[in-house]
Structure 1
Amino acid sequence: MQERVIVGIDVGTTKICVLVGELDRDGKLNIVGVGTCPSQGLRRGVVVNIEETVTSIAAALDRAERLSGKKIVSAYVGITGSHIDSENSKGFVAISPSHRDIEQNDISRAFEVAQAIAIPANREIIHVIPRGYVVDGQEDIKNPIGMSGFRLEVETHIITGAVSAIHNLIKCVHKAHVEIEDLVLEPLASGEAVLADGETDLGVVLVDIGGGTTDIAVYTDGAIWQTVALPLGGNQITNDIAIGLRLPFGVAEELKVTYGHCDPSLIDEDDMIDLSQFMPDCNDLVPRKLLAEIIQARVEELFAMVHEEVKKSGYDGLLPAGIVLTGGTAELPGIDELAGQILDLPARIGSPLGLHGLADSISRPAYATAVGLLLWGLRHTSLMIEEDEPEDEGSPDVLSRFGRWLRAFIP
């Protein structure tokens, strides 16, 4: 096995994060480069200024290249935003001639039927993910290839996004001189990094709280069931602090990160914050309990919205593995206890684990999406290493990528 380089680019509202992973000869993924840069030109996960976004991506890429010593030419790129939508769809095909062994082509035909849904002209499919297969009425089949049958059914989870948002993100990455291996919905990437197989089998809701959006992914029976992106995140908490305490946004963010807490009852009435450490010309004191009360109010609102989405999924009260929180805002103390109370579920904080190389610097919830992009790419890289046959140069890139991606989901 040759050494392969995999790159993930998390284009977030508050920061751009580029991770460089190297797959060694033993199949172990080592983190060899990290590059982060504050985001400019994005709002709630969507590009609103192309030139500013390109500059931010280029700066993060440069830092990752300098640290890793690698030239980055392609990457797996995360996408999110309130324009994201999803639905579940089924596809049925007959196996002809009757009762022969099911082949890859039969699965591809079933997928084509499943994704033949009415999609508005201003939307585009990002993912078509198999949830499971049914052969002649037999359910819960993960890999039907080689089985005999008359009829094959596939249940899929289809994720779509606004054409303009997708193409503007692609344009920004290309302007930074990087080709896109695949666009990956960010909560799916985060799930790769922080969820265990047992949790997805039992039923779990992943909540990735970024700066501009909160991404929700509900998993049941080992597969994705629902994905939603809410237009609310850590920046809204910071904005509340800035308004409530009459502070500049940057100072409010530092206050949140340094002294923030989601449970005011745990803060002493006499615990005061000296603002001079953030603003040298200001000698005011702020009660830390007041800061926690502002944070708690917005976080409660956020989890009430998450609870509504879980109810819409039809799995409220039916997710034994509970709620896993990740993303930068998940680092707020007390946020897991508050989430557990509002959703009436066990809750934990999800951090990327099992990393090698520069793991210490990125083993935090804020890096879950970027790490997940590498793990998503690792499955595809492993497949491409195993495949000796040359690619069909006449087939469109998107189709060849879809073929490799589809095979990655079949054990």
Structure 2
Amino acid sequence: MSTKILGIDIGSYHVRAVIAEHNDEGLKVIGFGAEKAQGVKKGAITNIELASQSVKNALKNAQMVAGTRYDRVVVSISGANTKSIDSSGVVNVPSHEIGISEIERAMQMADHYANIQSDYEKLHVLPHSFKVDEQENIEDPLGMNGSRLEVQAHIIIAQKSLLSNLRKTINLAGVNIDNIVLSGYASAISSLNDDEKELGVILVDIGSAISDIVIHSGNSIIHNDSLAAGSLYITQDLSYAAKTPLQKAEEIKVNYSSLMQSSANLIEVPLLGDEGKSGEISLDVVSKVIYIRAEEILTMVRDMILEYQKKKNSDFVGIGVVFTGGMTKLEGFKELASMVFDKIQVRIAKPKALEGLYEVMRDPSNSCAIGLCMYGAGCFTPYEIDSEKKMRYKGEHLSKPKINFQNLYSDEVSLKNDNQNFTTTQNGENFGIESRATVDVKDDLLDISDIKHEKQPGKIKMFWEKIVKNMF
């Protein structure tokens, strides 16, 4: 059975909606819509009604392309509206074997002891290092033996008021949120490869007004930050230099995006304040304006990374810096970034190659939106406590209880519920999956709409009544 996942990326210039279908074969992008963002400034909601209309329009376009609705919704929040702290937690392991429950308890302790202001809410609790007894720097302690488990976690937080406004905006558009995800985290999911995550890398997603910075090491995030600058500043500079409206300046940036261009050729532009008249600007000036602002933004990003290294007394850059986002589409961007980040490997990343709408996945502007869909499909860090305070881990769907429908007509089907663990048996033999997962009707354990069409309604009805009785 497939799940339709909707990813909504609320940027300062565009709202992007991506619908992806997730099944046993993988993830396929089936719908995309974009709308100019209104009521949004520097990643924050400034007008709920206008922002909601932008979300509604982007979603409408995505649904028209996909031809279907969605089952799960994941929404981004800009790094400019978040903070982060580090915390640790320690628990004993009475059974001397570390399972999911022990890892979860350790993470909850790190969550509990984190010094969070009362007006802030936790978005992600991301463990990046474990210690079992005296053995340090363990990436994944699952299944290991030990009597003591310690975790170092990176916790991302946001102001409750900002999150409340975000939720109201999405709800007003007729959508209920399942998860809120840091935009840089989502971009990392869609843009980084496994080697980069394991060896450590710095991801920079340069958006229109905000540049998100995420440092990935040991398959998890160890630092995140943001810069209040992006490609929109190039548009504003071009508007000022050419004395032309912002919309025309954006067209110039997109159509004449080379950073290395030198030409005396002139292009005609409407004049700001009197679009009935026109002026001219040379391509040489356009190129210089784009180059100067792009270099300035890259230099500020580099300085923020150097400041982090100084603060942590570390020269960590991992295997290099990966750039994504709309600004990376500028011709010559990689060469400029390599010059600014001297002696550091630079890569320009597009979202991972999934099935479906090729043109959507090849556009680095969509890295965050596609990453949100991937997050909804389970492509998160090995362990985390998410925005809904739920423990998430790789392969969690494999632990959900399942029912073998081939055995529904057995005379000896029984269901047992003990501390949220259950097994199904036939003729005394176990054919189900034992799990700590909570039984949830929404997990499609049994579709009531299908039951009424079965040839043996009596036995199916009895079986369903047993499920309901034990659930409540």
User: TM-score scaled by structure 1?
Assistant: 0.87
The correspondence of residues 141-290 of structure 1 with structure 2, limited to 5 A, is 141-262=138-259, 266-275=260-269, 281-290=276-285
Relative to structure 1, the CA distance from residue 336 to residue 202 in structure 2 (aligned partners, 3 Å threshold; closer, same or farther) is: same
Distance in 2 between the 1:292 and 1:122 partners?
45
**CA shift digits 1:239-269 (9 cap, x unpaired):** 122122211111111111111233xxx3234
Deviation, structure 1 residue 38? 1.0
Q: Report what 1:307 is aligned to.
A: 302
Alignment equivalent of 2:29, drawn from 28, 31, 39: 31
Q: Report what 2:339 is aligned to.
A: 341
Question: In the alignment, residue 400 of structure 2 is paired with which amino acid?
Answer: E
Which range is displaced more, 381-390 or 349-358? 381-390
Query: What secondary structure, in the 3-state scheme, does the structure 1 residue paired with 2:81 have?
Result: coil
Relative to structure 1, the CA distance from residue 34 to residue 386 in structure 2 (aligned partners, 3 Å threshold; closer, same or farther) is: farther
Deviation, structure 1 residue 145? 2.6
Whether contact under 8 Å (1:209, 1:327) holds in the other structure is yes
Whether contact under 8 Å (1:73, 1:177) holds in the other structure is no
Distance in 2 between the 1:245 and 1:29 partners?
44
Alignment equivalent of 2:291, drawn from 293, 296, 314: 296
Deviation, structure 1 residue 276? 6.5
* Count of residue pairs brought into register by the alignment: 386
Which of 1 and 2 has higher RCO (CA within 8 Å, sep 6+)?
Answer: 1
Distance in 2 between the 1:96 and 1:361 partners?
50
Relative to structure 1, the CA distance from residue 221 to residue 81 in structure 2 (aligned partners, 3 Å threshold; closer, same or farther) is: closer
**CA shift digits 1:108-163 (9 cap, x unpaired):** 22112212222112221111111121101212323323322121111111111122
Relative to structure 1, the CA distance from residue 214 to residue 272 in structure 2 (aligned partners, 3 Å threshold; closer, same or farther) is: same
Whether contact under 8 Å (1:93, 1:153) holds in the other structure is yes
Query: What secondary structure, in the 3-state scheme, does the structure 1 residue paired with 2:137 have?
Result: strand
Whether contact under 8 Å (2:262, 2:287) holds in the other structure is no
Distance in 2 between the 1:150 and 1:353 partners?
40
**CA shift digits 1:58-98 (9 cap, x unpaired):** 1111111122121235411111142311122221222236x
Distance in 1 between the 2:307 and 2:219 partners?
19
Relative to structure 1, the CA distance from residue 168 to residue 90 in structure 2 (aligned partners, 3 Å threshold; closer, same or farther) is: same
Query: What secondary structure, in the 3-state scheme, does the structure 2 residue paired with 1:303 have?
Result: helix
Whether contact under 8 Å (1:76, 1:184) holds in the other structure is yes
Deviation, structure 1 residue 286? 1.1
Q: Report what 2:407 is aligned to.
A: none
Question: In the alignment, residue 296 of structure 1 is paired with which amino acid?
Answer: Y
Distance in 1 between the 2:148 and 2:278 partners?
75
Q: Report what 2:17 is aligned to.
A: 18
Whether contact under 8 Å (2:201, 2:320) holds in the other structure is yes
Distance in 2 between the 1:382 and 1:359 partners?
27
In structure 1, stretches of 5+ residues that fail to align are 394-411
Which range is displaced more, 334-343 or 119-128? 334-343
Q: Report what 1:72 is aligned to.
A: 70
Query: What secondary structure, in the 3-state scheme, does the structure 2 residue paired with 1:180 have?
Result: coil
Deviation, structure 1 residue 179? 1.4
Whether contact under 8 Å (2:245, 2:270) holds in the other structure is no
Whether contact under 8 Å (1:40, 1:53) holds in the other structure is yes
Distance in 1 between the 2:177 and 2:99 partners?
30
Query: What secondary structure, in the 3-state scheme, does the structure 2 residue paired with 1:20 have?
Result: strand
Whether contact under 8 Å (1:61, 1:72) holds in the other structure is no
Deviation, structure 1 residue 192? 0.9
Relative to structure 1, the CA distance from residue 22 to residue 277 in structure 2 (aligned partners, 3 Å threshold; closer, same or farther) is: farther
**CA shift digits 1:200-228 (9 cap, x unpaired):** 22221111111121100111233212111
**CA shift digits 1:315-359 (9 cap, x unpaired):** 875324221111112211122222222222222211013211212
Q: Is 1:323 aligned to 2:317, yes or no?
A: no
Deviation, structure 1 residue 53? 0.6
Distance in 2 between the 1:188 and 1:42 partners?
20
User: TM-score scaled by structure 2?
Assistant: 0.77
Higher Cα Rg, which structure: 2
CA RMSD, 1 decimal = 2.4
Question: In the alignment, residue 325 of structure 2 is paired with which amino acid?
Answer: G
Question: In the alignment, residue 272 of structure 1 is paired with which amino acid?
Answer: L
Question: In the alignment, residue 179 of structure 1 is paired with which amino acid?
Answer: N
Q: Report what 1:131 is aligned to.
A: 128
Query: What secondary structure, in the 3-state scheme, does the structure 2 residue paired with 1:275 have?
Result: strand
Identity score, percent = 31
Query: What secondary structure, in the 3-state scheme, does the structure 1 residue paired with 2:307 have?
Result: helix
Question: In the alignment, residue 71 of structure 1 is paired with which amino acid?
Answer: R
Distance in 2 between the 1:260 and 1:276 partners?
19
Question: In the alignment, residue 101 of structure 1 is paired with which amino acid?
Answer: E
